[in-house]
Amino acid sequence: MTAKLRIPFFALALLIMVVIVALEAGAVTATQVAGRLPPFLRGGQPGAPLARAIQAFTPEQQAELDRLRSEKAGEIAGLPEDIEGFAIPYLRLLDVILLFTLALMALGILIPDYVQGKIQGCITVIFVILLILAAIVAIFVALAKLMVMVSLLLSFPFGTLAYLIIYGSFPRGASNAVLSLLFMLKFAFVIVLLLAHQRFVENKGLVIFIIASFVANIIIGFLYGLVPGFLVSITDAIAAIVVGIIAIILALILGIGALFSVVLALKPL
């Protein structure tokens, strides 16, 4: 394939995938994208009725609320700027697989085939193990937060009010804007990749990874729009768990193929 590969288009496809992963990592903020949206589509803050409701809490309940607020602030501080929740950052777990696959293809252009065959399988196995471990940790983090939010929501009245104050406002408009931008970039990536070489469609693994990336994007957007705004934090955590599971499945597919390559490379000639 490399003999007929259109290198400029392939390099552009690789660059687009780098931009996609960078966007999911927060290199482009949700605020920059959401600035083009009407104000009513952007996430807001808890209103005055909720603020007045805090005054009815006992000192112990207010202390617990302050603790939860501090915990939420710590979570946001660890996320890319202006990206709340888990689902969009977790897309990196999927799209980094595509980026890694393209990087291996680029490596095949730069080094001889016999060298590539010896190292590609080993590098892939290491990558897959690290990715699966990262995905498992990410799933448990999102699951723990989901349990906290559901427990608060169902603990009427204090827990419900605490949930509404802390998690009831989610920047759904900004997040949907980021998802739309990601979808357009992924569509552009597919077009440019086909311009680089039409036979990429025959690479079943690559096609599966691309479809899964689009499906994950659609799932997140669907779950964001499925419920009222005050429940989006919960569906965001659910979407993140689903994305993490998809990432593990794709990593296993990639890993199985890599193991076969390692076995073949170890066989004596």
| Ramachandran region, residue 188 (left: φ > 0; alpha: ψ -120 to 50; beta: rest) | alpha
Please choose, from the candidates 166, 137, 163, the residue with its C-alpha nearest in 3D space to the C-alpha of residue 152: 163
pLDDT over 90 for what percent of the chain?
31
Judge whether 41 lies within some domain.
Answer: no
Residue 267's pLDDT is: 61
As for how many domains the chain has, the answer is 1
Q: What sign does the dihedral 42-151-140-254 (CA atoms) show?
A: negative
Judge whether 11 lies within some domain.
Answer: yes
Judge whether 194 lies within some domain.
Answer: yes
Alpha-carbon span 262 to 126, nearest angstrom: 12
Cβ neighbours, 10 Å, residue 60? 9
Judge whether 147 lies within some domain.
Answer: yes
Judge whether 262 lies within some domain.
Answer: yes
Residue 113's pLDDT is: 62
Judge whether 42 lies within some domain.
Answer: no
Summarised one tens digit per residue, pLDDT across range 58-101 is 566 556 556 665 665 555 444 444 456 889 899 999 999 999 99
Residue 130's pLDDT is: 95
The pTM (predicted TM-score) of the whole model is 0.77
Residue 97's pLDDT is: 93
| Domain enclosing residue 146, as ranges | 7-30+47-266
pLDDT band, residue 135 (cuts 50/70/90): very high
From 29-43, 187-201, 248-262, the region with the lowest mean pLDDT: 29-43
Residues 151-160 have a mean pLDDT of 84
Of residues 88 and 3, which shows the higher confidence score?
88
Judge whether 39 lies within some domain.
Answer: no
Judge whether 141 lies within some domain.
Answer: yes
Q: State the chain's mean pLDDT as an integer.
A: 78
Residues 8-36 have a mean pLDDT of 74
Q: Is 56 exposed, middle or buried (0-12, 13-18, 19+ CB in 10 A)?
A: exposed
